[in-house]
Structure 1
Amino acid sequence: MKTHCHKIIALIKENLVQIVSLRGQLTLKPDNSYVSQGDLLVQQLVLEYLKQALPAHQLISEELAPFTGITWDPQGSYVVLDPIDGTENFVSGLKEWGIGISIYTQGVHQESCIYLPELNDLHITGMPMTHHRSRIRGLSSSLTKQDLLQLEEGFEYRIIGCSMYNMLAAVRGAYASFENVKGVNCWDILPGLNFALEHGCEALVDGEPYRGQLLFPTQKYKINIKKRHEVLA
C-alpha cells in the first residue's frame, strides 16, 4: 500500500532534475545558513500535496521558520518537513543531502521518511532495513575545533553535515552512534528518532528516552542514537 510518504517521494522524484538544477540559486538567511531555490521547490511540492491529501494537517517546515504567535497542540495533526537537510552540502555540489518527513495525526506518529536523492537511498516507516555493526561514531558538523580536540580516543569519527544521512546510518548500525550535543530543530531529527524506535535503537532527546512524541520548533534538541549492541573491536 502506498502511504502519504510514498506519494510525496514519488512527486519529488518526478521533479528531481529541476530541484537539483536549482542548487546554484541561493540566498543567505539571517542565521548565516543558505536556502536554495531547490529547498523552496521541495517545500512547495509538499504544500500542494497536503492541500489535497491532508488538508487538516499543518505544515512545520524549516523554510517557514521562524514561527511566531503560534500555539502548538501536542494532540494536533502536523506534517514536519525538512525540504533539504544538508543545504550546505547541496549547494556545494555534494551528494550527502536529504529530505525528511514525519506525519502526526492527533498527536500520534503515523509515518516518517528519509530520502537521500543523489545517493539513491530511501527509507519509509514499515520498510525492511538491513542492519550493520560498526565502530564509527557520527558527529554533528556544528562542533567547533575545540570540541573536536576533546573527542574520546579509540574510535573512528565521521562528520557528514546531513542529519538525515547521519541518523539513518545510526539506526542501521552503519554508525555505532550519532550524537548532536549542540542542539537541532525538530525537522532535523523526527524521522530518525521514529526509525530508532521502530528498529530497537536507544534514542535520547535532551538526555531522556524518546517515546514518539511530537517535537515543536520552540527550542533546539540534543540527541543521541545508538544501536543496542557493542561496537566492533
Structure 2
Amino acid sequence: MTDIAPLLRDVVRFIEEALPALRERRYDIVWKPDGSPVTAADVYLEQGIADLLRARLGDLAFIGEESWQAGAPIGRQWRAVLDPIDGTENFCSGLKEWGTSLSIWRGDVHAGSLLMMPELGEVMMSGAIPRIPRSRIVGFSSSWNEAIGQGLAREPEGRIMGCAVYNLFNVIRGAFARFVNPKGARSWDLLAGVALAHEAGCGVLINDRDYDGRFLEPDQRYRVDICHRYDLHSGQRAVGG
C-alpha cells in the first residue's frame, strides 16, 4: 500500500505557500446557479492541488467541487475528492473559518485524508489526529432545516459556523461533542472528515446508518451525524459525566 502521508504533507505545504495568492483572489467572486459564491481562489487552489495529485498518483479520478461533472467515470486506480475552499461564504466575507478537505482512495479503499484550516493554522490528517478532553458543544450545518432549529432549541451549547471543515475538524478532535447535518451535503464536503472520524473511533451515521468506511459517491447527498467518543480517551469522562 502506498504511503499517502508524504503526499498529504506536500499538499499542506502547497496550501501554506498559496495563501498570499488566495488572499489576492478572495474578493473576486462569481455566483453559481444556486446563489452560492465561488471565488477565483477556489478555482486557483483546486487546479493547483489537482496538478500536484495527478503528477504523483498517475491513474487518478479527480473529484473537485469546482470542476466535477456529474456522471463522470470514477473507476480509476486512485480517487481524490477535494473541496478546495469549504466555507466560501466565510472566506469571501473576510472570515478565517474556512478550510480545505481532501480524501484519497485507492479504488474503494481509503488511503488517507486531510482537513486543514489555513488561516487558523490547524491541520489534521490520517495518523495525526489531535484530541480534546471534553466538550458540550454541538455543531450544526448552516443549510437551514427544521431539524436544526429543533436541535438548537434542545442543545444548551449549539453552534452554526458556516464551514463543514470547521465542524468536522472539531468533532473529530473532541472540541465539539457532536456535529449534525440533517439536510445533507456532497462527498467533497464530507468524505475526508467522515473518513477521519471513522479512523478516530467517533460514532458516525450516514443517512441514519452506521458508517462502515465506504467511499461516498460524488453524485449523491448525504446526511451526517457524528459523535465524539470521549471514552476512547484514557481517564476521561463521557459528555455529561
Q: TM-score, normalised by structure 1?
A: 0.92
Letter of the 2:55 counterpart: Q
User: Which moves more between the two structures, 148-157 or 179-188?
Assistant: 148-157
Letter of the 1:195 counterpart: L
1:43 positional shift: 0.6
1:20 positional shift: 1.7
**Structure 1: how far apart are the matches of 2:164 and 2:139?**
10
Letter of the 2:193 counterpart: G
Q: Which runs of 5+ in 1 are unaligned?
A: none
2:69 paired with 1:61:
no
1:132-143 correspondence runs (5 A):
132-143=133-144
Counterpart pick for 2:16 among 13, 22, 46: 13
**3-state SS of paired residue (1:93):** coil
Letter of the 2:185 counterpart: V
**Structure 1: how far apart are the matches of 2:45 and 2:126?**
20
1:31 positional shift: 1.1
1:179 positional shift: 0.5
**Structure 2: how far apart are the matches of 1:126 and 1:147?**
34
**Structure 1: how far apart are the matches of 2:22 and 2:115?**
17
**Structure 1: how far apart are the matches of 2:47 and 2:118?**
17
Letter of the 1:17 counterpart: P
Letter of the 1:82 counterpart: D
- The answer to whether the Cα contact below 8 Å between 2:42 and 2:85 also exists between their aligned partners in 1 is yes
Counterpart pick for 2:51 among 42, 48, 53: 48
**Structure 1: how far apart are the matches of 2:182 and 2:148?**
12
**3-state SS of paired residue (1:223):** strand
Aligned to 1:224: 225
**3-state SS of paired residue (2:11):** helix
**Structure 1: how far apart are the matches of 2:229 and 2:190?**
19
Aligned to 2:162: 161
**Structure 1: how far apart are the matches of 2:46 and 2:174?**
30
User: Which moves more between the two structures, 195-204 or 222-231?
Assistant: 222-231
1:147 positional shift: 4.6
**Structure 1: how far apart are the matches of 2:173 and 2:56?**
31
User: Which moves more between the two structures, 7-16 or 158-167?
Assistant: 7-16
2:153 paired with 1:150:
no
CA gap 1:123/1:57 in 2 versus in 1, 3 angstroms: same
CA gap 1:128/1:63 in 2 versus in 1, 3 angstroms: closer
CA gap 1:194/1:27 in 2 versus in 1, 3 angstroms: same
**Runs of 4+, deviation exceeding 3 Å:** 146-149
Deviations 1:25-55 (A, max 9, x none): 0100011111100001111111211231112
**3-state SS of paired residue (1:96):** coil
1:130 positional shift: 2.1
Letter of the 1:23 counterpart: R
CA gap 1:28/1:201 in 2 versus in 1, 3 angstroms: same
2:45 paired with 1:36:
no
Counterpart pick for 1:25 among 1, 7, 28: 28
Deviations 1:206-226 (A, max 9, x none): 011112211111210000110
1:66 positional shift: 3.9
Q: TM-score, normalised by structure 2?
A: 0.90
**3-state SS of paired residue (1:182):** strand
**Structure 1: how far apart are the matches of 2:228 and 2:222?**
20
Letter of the 1:197 counterpart: H
**Structure 1: how far apart are the matches of 2:217 and 2:23?**
29
**Structure 2: how far apart are the matches of 1:210 and 1:121?**
25
Q: Which runs of 5+ in 2 are unaligned?
A: 231-237
